[in-house]
């Protein structure tokens, strides 16, 4: 497949005015400038005028493709909300009028709250969670008409309404924030369910719902005390997107003489010994043939993406953003982008997907690390894949000088490389990797240990849907880890959304997570406390989460037999504390000078003076 995207002439059925993006805007934004992308048949032949107090037409930019105009506006501070007519005139033809709306920003409390270490994120793939509206399973005119729950690549019918119907389940589990894989329109011929090949970034895919329903979802979540994270993709779009069918200019996407895939190697981005050619392939190569790589050095692409994200955050009241494929983006663009977003929404949370292999690589992308960069990414947090690997090493590997529990200890010892390690998202699985329960050999003791570490560790914990009911499988291929949540479809014979529909072991898993999640929500030490860890000894790893007023002690015993632990070694952390309550069992320990640790266990103690 060639990697060259041609700038086409207008399609024969292209409307005189096809799109204006953003469709609307707001007054009194942090950045008073606005650039409108206008698409229509030979729209560049027309003269643009407007008349509205406080709105100034600065420049009309014509580009390679006559079907586009990029209109630069400035909106003065204090401009009143309302609407004005954008007029596109041409002698001898009828004037085209677009009524452009300017709203007041929504200042209601509880919007754009931010997601912090006080939260627990629940990750959902909407197509695989619950089908609340079967009438939108297929939409006439869309390219992918599949609907087959027996196929891992076809659409299954899950949607926004299905998610909204089960917000009470997510809240009852103890989650406080929801991250959904993208629900933006993916009008692709196949595999359109996952959402990462956008065809219109201003539109919710109608098989999920509508823009209005998405906004209603956010508002309902907020009323229930749940925050909402939106998954956004800077790096690429879908090859069948409307803009790829009629590119504004050739360099809207990265062009190559023949198709060139990204190397998927992040090292050339940071390597001081790198080859420029290697760096270019990493950053400018296409992610896959169906996902063209956006040229973020193109100023029109830059504004188009940034304004789109601001539009969604303000329109829907979103609390956080998860950034897909973060290392593949142009570093300078992402730095400027982050400043623009946080300038408008200072409380918004942002975390970037960095599926890399070392702490140094993750820290390179995190905000505050300017060594050898010449820039600050201003990225508050990253997905902590290295800590995930260390937890797996802790659970699965034999003990060694740098293996087993020592791997987890050593990984956390490198937190000095981050400016804010507490803003990293800690996870054990997601939609792109093998499920946690399978990766630990379906060992329930390891499940409790891993979940216990996840929910008591520094950072922002994230659960993948179904982990709490022991859903399993390996990601070869990925579709196997994207199975439907049992009970999300009317025809399902069993519903795991209820205790009655779950097995005894599934309820044990659910209740274990629920107990810890609820304790975490009430614990200042776990929500925002510092971390102190001790070098593992005798296959026992101990750490403390603490504030000035509370301390939680976590002990993981990897031995196949019960161990007695003399706590004198931890007097630095135990000073003033003489007793404790076992968070998991609820039992009181009147004396903590010696602790009895069950085999292959995790013990979590709320210390008391």
Residues with catalytic function = 324, 353
Rounded Cα distance, 287 and 442, in Å:
33
Q: Which two tokens stand for residue 23?
A: 């469709």
Q: What are the beta bridge partners of residue 70? A: 37, 61
Q: Are strands 594-597 and 184-185 parallel, antiparallel or unpaired?
A: unpaired
Backbone angles phi, psi at 60, to 5 degrees: -110, 115
Q: Residue 347 in 3-state DSSP?
A: coil
**Angle in degrees, 0-180, between the axes of helices 405-412 and 385-396, rounded to the nearest 10:** 160
Kindly compute the dihedral angle of the four CA atoms of residues 189, 193, 196, 202, in this order, to the nearest 10 degrees. Answer: 90
- Alpha helical stretches, state H, 464-577: 504-522, 524-528, 571-574
> Strand 530-537's sheet: what is its strand order?
530-537, 540-546, 551-557, 601-608, 579-582, 588-589
DSSP 3-state assignment of 342?
A: helix
36 Ramachandran zone, left/alpha/beta (phi>0; psi -120 to 50): beta
Closest of 302, 240, 290 to residue 37, by C-alpha? 302
- As beta bridge partners, residue 323 has 232, 352
- How wide is the angle at C-alpha 167 spanned by C-alphas 166 and 172, nearest 5°? 100
Alpha-carbon span 508 to 470, nearest angstrom: 10
**Alpha-carbon gap, residue 534 to 569, rounded angstroms:** 9
313 in Cβ contact with 341 (< 8 Å) = yes
How far apart CA 447 and CA 435 sit, in angstroms, is 11
H helices within 95-227, ranges in order? 160-165, 167-173, 211-223
The position carrying tokens 């995790």 is 602
């Amino acid at each position: 497949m060639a990697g060259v995207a041609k700038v086409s002439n207008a399609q024969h059925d292209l409307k005189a005015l096809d799109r204006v993006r953003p469709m609307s805007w707001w007054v009194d934004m942090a950045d008073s400038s606005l650039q409108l992308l206008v698409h229509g048949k030979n729209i560049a032949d027309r003269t643009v005028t407007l008349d509205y107090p406080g709105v100034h037409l600065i420049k009309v930019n014509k580009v390679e493709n006559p079907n586009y105009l990029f209109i630069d506006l400035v909106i003065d501070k204090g401009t009143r909300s309302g609407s004005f007519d954008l007029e596109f005139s041409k002698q001898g033809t009828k004037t085209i009028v677009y009524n452009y709306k300017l709203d007041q920003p929504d200042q209601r409390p509880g919007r754009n709250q931010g997601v912090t270490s006080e939260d627990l994120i629940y990750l959902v793939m909407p197509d695989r969670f619950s089908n609340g509206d079967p009438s939108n399973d297929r939409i006439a005119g869309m390219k992918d008409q599949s609907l087959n729950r027996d196929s891992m690549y076809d659409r299954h019918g899950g949607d926004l309404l299905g998610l909204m119907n089960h917000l009470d389940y997510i809240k009852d589990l103890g989650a406080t924030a929801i991250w959904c894989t993208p629900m933006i329109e993916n009008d692709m011929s196949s595999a359109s369910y996952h959402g990462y090949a956008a065809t219109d970034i201003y539109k919710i895919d109608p098989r999920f719902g509508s823009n209005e329903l998405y906004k209603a979802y956010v508002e309902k979540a907020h009323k229930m005390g749940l925050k909402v994270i939106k998954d956004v993709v800077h790096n690429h779009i879908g090859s069948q997107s409307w803009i790829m069918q009629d590119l504004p200019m050739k360099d809207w996407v990265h062009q190559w003489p023949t198709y060139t895939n990204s190397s998927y190697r992040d090292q050339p981005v940071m390597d001081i010994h790198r080859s420029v050619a290697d760096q270019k392939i990493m950053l400018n190569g296409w992610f896959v043939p169906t996902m063209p790589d956006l040229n973020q050095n193109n100023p029109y692409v830059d504004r188009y993406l940034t304004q789109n994200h601001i539009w969604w955050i303000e329109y829907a009241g979103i609390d956080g953003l998860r950034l897909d494929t973060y290392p593949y983006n142009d570093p300078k663009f992402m730095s400027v982008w982050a400043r623009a977003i946080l300038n408008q929404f200072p409380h918004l949370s942002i975390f970037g997907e960095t599926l890399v292999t070392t702490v140094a690589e993750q820290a390179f992308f995190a905000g505050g690390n300017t060594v050898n960069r010449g820039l600050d990414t201003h990225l508050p947090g990253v997905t902590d894949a290295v800590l995930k690997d260390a937890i797996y090493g802790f659970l699965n590997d034999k003990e060694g000088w740098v293996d087993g529990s020592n791997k987890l200890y050593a990984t956390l010892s490198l937190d000095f490389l981050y400016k804010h390690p507490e803003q990293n998202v800690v996870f054990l699985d997601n939609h792109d990797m093998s499920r946690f329960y399978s990766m630990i050999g379906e060992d329930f003791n390891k499940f409790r240990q891993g979940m216990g570490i996840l929910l008591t560790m520094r950072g922002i914990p994230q659960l993948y849907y179904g982990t709490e009911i022991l859903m399993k499988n390996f990601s070869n291929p990925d579709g196997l880890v994207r199975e439907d949540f049992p009970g999300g479809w009317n025809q399902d014979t069993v519903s795991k959304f209820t205790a009655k529909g779950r097995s005894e072991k599934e309820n044990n898993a659910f209740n274990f997570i629920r107990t810890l999640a609820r304790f975490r929500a009430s614990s200042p030490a776990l929500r925002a406390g510092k971390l102190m860890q001790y070098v593992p000894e005798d296959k026992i790893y101990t750490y403390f989460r603490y504030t000035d007023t509370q301390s939680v002690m976590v002990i993981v015993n990897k031995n196949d037999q019960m161990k007695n632990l003399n706590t004198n070694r931890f007097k630095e952390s135990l000073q003033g504390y003489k007793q404790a309550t076992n968070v998991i069992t609820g039992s009181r320990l009147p004396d903590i000078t010696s602790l009895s640790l069950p085999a292959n266990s995790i013990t979590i103690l709320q210390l008391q003076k």
